[in-house]
């Protein structure tokens, strides 16, 4: 079937199918979706639906129904005339201009994707699947008027006398040309957001042109204080209709506080766009603040407005970098623009306080906050160096005091002081010179005596800190030393040197003395100083050269007074050389076979040959034979050469010869020197000859002088008799006591095998076996007899059997000591 509008009724295509409610048929085109409408309730319980495409405002409920969801009352059934009257008198949702819709208007509500009812039941609930009146009369049949059947959505004639349902409409311009199949959706549009607007101001959007449609469509605006106008007309907030090519603007009141956003939503034919305005920020806080090369105190905090910092004199510039919490805020530094997070140009720092005011102006142009930073640049550290000449100085001697001052081109004066008192004439000495180093000079002959601390004080200037320095200036008469200027002594000797010290300003006991030598190989400084003696004006020391050293040296005697003055006295010392005796080690004997004759030599008979200490190494040695005892005539000649080789010319006889040999050098005997060694004894044996000796030694009493012992009642006397075989062969020794006088009850004893002790004057000790170079000790004891003037013991030793004992007196020994103090006078014995 073909409808009056030339549409094919979709419900015919779906004939035989019924629906209890309007729901979109799967696959059908949705002609009246929810997005096309805007539901509102200006008066509680009286809802209205605005068609955003047509601009028409509909009562949501069929006339006779009420409530927000049309769930109260019953639908009215009126003939066409009564329907018109009911519309004229109807008041709903605060409006009184309700009317009966024309055919085009009512048919615009048809949802062709639905059936029974063919309407968007979400927006128009409780709509009956029945015919609804329109205000349009049939041109061909005036007694009839058009109806819309919301069972199928078709338009049909109906007698005006018939009772039908009705839905009222208001506003709109009428839809004489409305076509439900036309394009009601315009092109998308954009409303440009606005920022930094004044709080509470009226904000109007940019205009947008309605394009992309070929039919009128609905318009509405949402949002607090939102309104719109079309083509420059009056701003309204109610829904309306726009046509292709219309210009639309949105307006609302900006938020009442700073930095807040307000949004309004404009909907044209189902296409929406938001218009946003943001009020200007009043945030004038910093988020960062940095000055290069220094640290702020306190540490930066956005709520802290005052800062300080200190830099040394060398830091003559800085730069600032700052960031604000609001990127749209503006900043100035000392009234000059400063960009966000951009390092400023270098800021010169003068000596002293430098104040930098960073002002942040919020986006609103009204709110401001100032951050004050004070940077103190230190003055240059100046440095004073002071000295005086001469130092030390004598009293009343002119002393020139010089001070060097370094800094940043220092200017002004220096004051020279002793302690807290300025030196007369040196109270304000002007600096001279140019550049960063200047000087001040003061000369004075009126410095008091003493060890003075002289200060130079600089008070500073605009670019330099104050500074000072001091030095010790000695004004004093040095002590005096009186001593010989030259002395001499012998090598390995010593000499006590006396000297006098004095000082006009201190007592002698306060004068210190030290000694030194310029020749460390001749004198040891530690030894010299250790020998110092005396504490008053008279002092002395002992010159003791290093052993075996001789030559020249200068002894420096340094005397210092309590004020630090000192004086040196030089003593020239000559140490004269003294020859040291040579030395050697000669063998005790040499042995040749029986019958040996002619010239013989024995190398190394004398060893360890030395002319003396190392400084006598150049001397030459020889050997002298002081005594020769050759009873058997075994030698024709004998000599010992400088190399220590023994030369003998043997006669062919057997026996023993005893030599007394002495080592000599050519160093001479000047200054008491010695050029020969103590004599050494050597024996020459030919064959098996032996040489025995005896030595008597008193053991007790211990007193060196026997009369002293007798006075103490010490009468027991003990003696040791030592027998020695000088070799080279073993033998037996016999000891004969030839005389015992001044000793009563003599008793002989011995421990050697074969020894026969006895008593009496002639008691022998026989058969004492002795190996070569072996000794045997016999003991004799008795009571001293002070009735005798002296004590006398005589002994003789000989070999038994074998050759006779040889060696001059070496085979006898005699001991004589006084027993009476007067014995020496009538015996002649010393």
Residue 14: pLDDT above 80? no
Cβ atoms of residues 605 and 590 within 8 Å:
yes
Cα separation, 171 vs 58, in Å, equals: 9
Q: For residue 632, give both structure tokens.
A: 């058997």
Cα separation, 500 vs 503, in Å, equals: 11
Q: What is the pLDDT of residue 12?
A: 28
- Which three-class secondary structure state does DSSP give residue 11? helix
Cβ neighbours of residue 413 under 8 Å, at least 6 residues apart?
428, 429, 430, 431, 440, 459
How crowded is the C-beta side of 122, counted as CA atoms within 13 Å?
12
DSSP string computed for 375-395? EEEPPB--EEEEEEESSSB-T
Residue 809: pLDDT above 80? no
131-137 and 144-149 as β-strands: parallel, antiparallel, unpaired?
A: antiparallel
User: Of 446, 443, 440, which Cα lies nearest the Cα of 399?
Assistant: 443
Q: For residue 50, give both structure tokens.
A: 């605005």
Residue 437: pLDDT above 60? yes
The alpha carbon of 798 is separated from its chain's Cα centroid by a whole number of angstroms, namely 93
Q: What is the pLDDT of residue 29?
A: 46
What's the Rg (C-alpha) of the chain?
74
Domain ranges in the chain are 10-170, 194-273, 286-377, 383-475, 480-576, 583-686, 692-827
End-to-end CA distance of the chain: 190
List, as own/partner pairs, every contact residues 67-76 make where C-beta atoms lie below 8 angstroms and the sequence separation is at least 24, other chains included: 68/41, 68/44, 69/125, 69/126, 70/124, 70/125, 70/126, 71/125, 71/126, 75/126, 75/128, 75/165, 76/165, 76/166
List, as own/partner pairs, every contact residues 520-529 make where C-beta atoms lie below 8 angstroms and the sequence separation is at least 24, other chains included: 521/546, 521/549, 521/551, 522/546, 522/549, 522/550, 522/551, 522/552, 522/553, 522/573, 522/575, 523/553, 523/555, 523/573, 528/555
Q: What is the pLDDT of residue 738?
A: 83
Task: Give me the percent of the chain exceeding a pLDDT of 70.
Answer: 90
Q: Quick check: do 480-576 and 583-686 share a fold?
A: yes
Residue 5: pLDDT above 80? no
Cα separation, 47 vs 49, in Å, equals: 7
Q: Which of 43-47, 252-256, 691-695 has the lowest mean pLDDT?
A: 691-695
- Which three-class secondary structure state does DSSP give residue 707? helix
* pLDDT band for position 389 (cuts 50, 70, 90): very high
Element (H, E) at 281: none
Q: Which residues pair with 648 in a beta bridge?
A: 600, 638
Q: What class has domain 583-686?
A: mainly beta
Q: For residue 462, give both structure tokens.
A: 């605009």
Q: What is the pLDDT of residue 612?
A: 92
Residue 651: pLDDT above 90? yes
- Which three-class secondary structure state does DSSP give residue 716? strand
**Widest pairwise Cα distance in the chain:** 210
* pLDDT band for position 807 (cuts 50, 70, 90): very low
Q: What is the pLDDT of residue 158?
A: 94
Query: What's the per-residue H, E or C state across 754-817?
Result: CCCCCECCCCCEEEEEECCCCEEEEEEEEEECCCCCEEEEEEEEEECCCCCCCCHHHHEEEEEE
Q: Provide the 8-state DSSP code for 565.
A: -
Reported as a single tens digit per residue, the pLDDT across 189-230 is: 999 999 999 999 999 999 999 999 887 788 899 999 999 999
Q: What class has domain 10-170?
A: alpha beta
Per residue in 585-624, is it b (16+ CB within 10 Å) or e — as a string? ebeebbbbeeebeeebebeebbeebbbbeeebeebebebe
Angle CA(417)–CA(418)–CA(421) in degrees, nearest 5?
A: 70
Tell me how crowded residue 651 is: count the other CB atoms within 10 A of its CB: 18
* pLDDT band for position 13 (cuts 50, 70, 90): very low
Q: What is the pLDDT of residue 62?
A: 98
Q: Please state the rounded mean pLDDT for residues 667-694.
A: 90
CATH classification code of 383-475:
2.60.40.10
Q: What is the pLDDT of residue 798?
A: 80
Give the C-alpha distances (Å, rounded to integers) separating 688 from 162, 605, 636, 693.
Answer: 192, 20, 19, 17
Cα separation, 208 vs 242, in Å, equals: 12
Residue 20: pLDDT above 70? no
Reported as a single tens digit per residue, the pLDDT across 133-169 is: 999 998 889 999 999 999 999 999 999 999 999 999 9
Q: Please state the rounded mean pLDDT for residues 654-677.
A: 93
CATH classification code of 692-827:
2.60.40.740
Cα separation, 187 vs 217, in Å, equals: 12
> Fold for domain 480-576?
Immunoglobulin-like (2.60.40)
Q: What is the pLDDT of residue 51?
A: 87
* pLDDT band for position 733 (cuts 50, 70, 90): confident
* pLDDT band for position 3 (cuts 50, 70, 90): very low
731-741 and 790-799 as β-strands: parallel, antiparallel, unpaired?
A: antiparallel
Residue 175: pLDDT above 60? no
Q: For residue 357, give both structure tokens.
A: 């005011």
DSSP string computed for 78-147? B-HHHHHHHHHT--BTTB---B---HHHHHTTB-TT--SS-B-TTTSTT--SSEEEEEEEPSS-TTEEEE
Q: What is the pLDDT of residue 757?
A: 61
Q: Please state the rounded mean pLDDT for residues 52-67.
A: 92
Q: Which of 6-15, 595-604, 623-632, 777-786 has the lowest mean pLDDT?
A: 6-15
Q: Which of 7-16, 198-207, 258-267, 677-686 has the lowest mean pLDDT?
A: 7-16
Average pLDDT, the chain: 88
> Fold for domain 286-377?
Immunoglobulin-like (2.60.40)
Reported as a single tens digit per residue, the pLDDT across 321-358 is: 999 999 999 999 999 999 999 999 999 999 999 999 99
Reported as a single tens digit per residue, the pLDDT across 275-317 is: 999 999 999 999 999 999 999 999 999 999 999 999 999 999 9
Cα separation, 596 vs 576, in Å, equals: 51
Q: What is the pTM of this model?
A: 0.41
Q: What is the pLDDT of residue 765?
A: 56
Reported as a single tens digit per residue, the pLDDT across 81-122 is: 999 999 999 999 999 999 999 999 999 999 888 899 999 999
Cβ atoms of residues 712 and 691 within 8 Å:
no
Cα separation, 509 vs 534, in Å, equals: 9
Tell me how crowded residue 37 is: count the other CB atoms within 10 A of its CB: 23
Angle CA(606)–CA(612)–CA(616) in degrees, nearest 5?
A: 125
Cβ atoms of residues 784 and 742 within 8 Å:
yes
Q: What is the pLDDT of residue 157?
A: 92
Read off φ and ψ for residue 105, nearest 5 degrees.
-65, -45
Q: Is the dihedral angle over the CA atoms 319, 325, 326, 332 positive or is it negative?
A: negative
The alpha carbon of 343 is separated from its chain's Cα centroid by a whole number of angstroms, namely 33
Q: Please state the rounded mean pLDDT for residues 403-407.
A: 93
């Amino acid at each position: 079937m073909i409808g009056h509008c030339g549409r094919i009724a979709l419900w015919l295509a779906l004939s035989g199918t019924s629906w209890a409610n309007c729901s979109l048929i799967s696959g059908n085109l949705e002609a009246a979706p929810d997005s096309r409408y805007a539901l509102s309730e200006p008066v509680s319980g009286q809802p209205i639906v605005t068609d955003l495409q047509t601009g028409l405002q509909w009562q949501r409920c069929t006339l006779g129904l009420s409530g927000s969801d049309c769930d109260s009352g019953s639908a009215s059934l009126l003939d066409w005339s009564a329907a018109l009257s009911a519309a004229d008198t109807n008041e709903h949702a605060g409006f009184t201009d309700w009317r009966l819709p024309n055919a085009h208007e009512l048919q615009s509500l048809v949802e062709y994707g639905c059936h029974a009812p063919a309407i968007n039941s979400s927006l128009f609930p409780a709509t009956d699947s029945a015919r609804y009146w329109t205000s349009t009369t049939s041109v061909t049949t005036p007694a009839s008027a058009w109806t819309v059947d919301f069972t199928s959505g078709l338009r049909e004639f109906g007698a005006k006398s018939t009772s039908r349902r009705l839905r009222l409409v208001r506003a709109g311009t009428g839809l004489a040309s409305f076509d439900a199949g036309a394009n009601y959706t315009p092109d998308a549009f954009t409303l440009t957001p606005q920022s930094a607007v004044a709080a509470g101001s009226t904000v109007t959007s940019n205009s947008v042109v309605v394009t992309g449609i070929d039919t009128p469509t609905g318009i509405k605006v949402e949002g607090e204080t939102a309104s719109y106008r079309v083509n420059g007309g009056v701003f309204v907030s109610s829904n309306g209709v726009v046509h292709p090519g219309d210009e639309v603007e949105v307006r609302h009141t900006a938020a009442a506080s700073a930095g807040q956003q307000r949004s309004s939503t404009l909907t044209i034919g189902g296409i929406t766009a938001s218009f946003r305005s943001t009020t200007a920020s009043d945030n004038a806080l910093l988020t960062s603040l940095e000055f290069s090369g220094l640290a702020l105190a306190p540490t930066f905090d956005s709520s802290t407005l005052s800062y300080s910092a200190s830099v040394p004199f060398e830091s003559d510039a800085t730069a600032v970098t700052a960031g604000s919490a609001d990127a749209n805020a503006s900043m100035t530094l000392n009234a000059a623009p400063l960009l966000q997070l951009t390092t400023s140009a270098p800021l010169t720092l003068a000596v002293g306080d430098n104040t930098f005011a960073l002002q942040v102006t919020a986006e609103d142009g009204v709110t401001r906050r100032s951050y004050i930073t004070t940077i103190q640049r230190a003055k240059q550290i100046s440095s004073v160096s002071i000295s005086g000449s001469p130092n030390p100085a004598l009293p009343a001697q002119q002393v020139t005091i010089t001070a060097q001052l370094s800094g940043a081109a220092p200017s002004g004066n220096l004051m020279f002081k002793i302690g807290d008192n300025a030196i007369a004439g040196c109270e304000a000495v002007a600096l001279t010179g140019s550049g960063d180093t200047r000087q001040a000079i003061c000369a004075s002959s009126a410095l008091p005596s003493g060890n003075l601390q002289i200060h130079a004080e600089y008070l500073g200037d605009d670019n330099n800190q104050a500074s000072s320095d001091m030095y010790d200036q000695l004004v004093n008469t040095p002590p005096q030393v009186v001593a010989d200027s030259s002395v001499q002594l012998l090598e390995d000797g010593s000499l006590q040197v006396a000297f006098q010290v004095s000082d006009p300003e201190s007592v002698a006991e306060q004068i210190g003395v030290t000694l030194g030598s310029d020749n460390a190989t001749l004198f040891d400084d530690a030894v010299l100083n250790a020998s110092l003696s005396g504490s008053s004006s008279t002092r002395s020391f002992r010159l003791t050269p290093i052993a075996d050293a001789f030559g020249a040296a200068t002894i420096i005697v340094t005397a210092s007074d309590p004020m630090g003055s000192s004086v040196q006295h030089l003593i020239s010392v000559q140490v004269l050389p003294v020859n040291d005796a040579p030395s050697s080690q000669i063998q005790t004997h040499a042995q040749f076979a029986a019958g040996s004759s002619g010239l013989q030599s024995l190398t190394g008979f004398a060893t360890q040959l030395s002319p003396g200490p190392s400084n006598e190494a150049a001397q030459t040695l020889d050997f002298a034979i002081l005594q020769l005892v050759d009873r058997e005539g075994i030698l024709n000649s004998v000599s010992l050469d400088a190399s220590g080789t023994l030369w003998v010319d043997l006669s062919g006889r057997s026996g023993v010869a005893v030599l007394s040999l002495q080592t000599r050098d050519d160093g001479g005997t000047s200054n008491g020197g010695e050029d020969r060694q103590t004599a050494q004894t050597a024996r020459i044996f030919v064959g098996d000859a032996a040489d025995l000796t005896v030595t008597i030694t008193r053991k007790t009493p211990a007193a060196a002088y026997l009369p002293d012992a007798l006075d103490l009642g010490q009468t027991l006397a003990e003696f040791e008799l030592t027998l020695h075989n000088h070799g080279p062969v073993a033998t037996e020794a016999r000891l004969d006591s030839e005389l015992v006088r001044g000793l009563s009850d003599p008793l002989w004893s011995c421990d050697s095998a074969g020894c026969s002790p006895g008593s009496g004057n002639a008691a022998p000790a026989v058969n004492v076996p002795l190996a070569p170079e072996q000794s045997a000790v016999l003991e004799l004891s008795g009571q001293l007899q002070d009735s005798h003037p002296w004590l006398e013991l005589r002994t003789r030793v000989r070999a038994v059997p074998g050759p006779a004992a040889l060696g001059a007196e070496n085979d006898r020994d005699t001991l004589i000591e006084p027993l009476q103090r007067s014995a020496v006078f009538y015996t002649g014995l010393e």
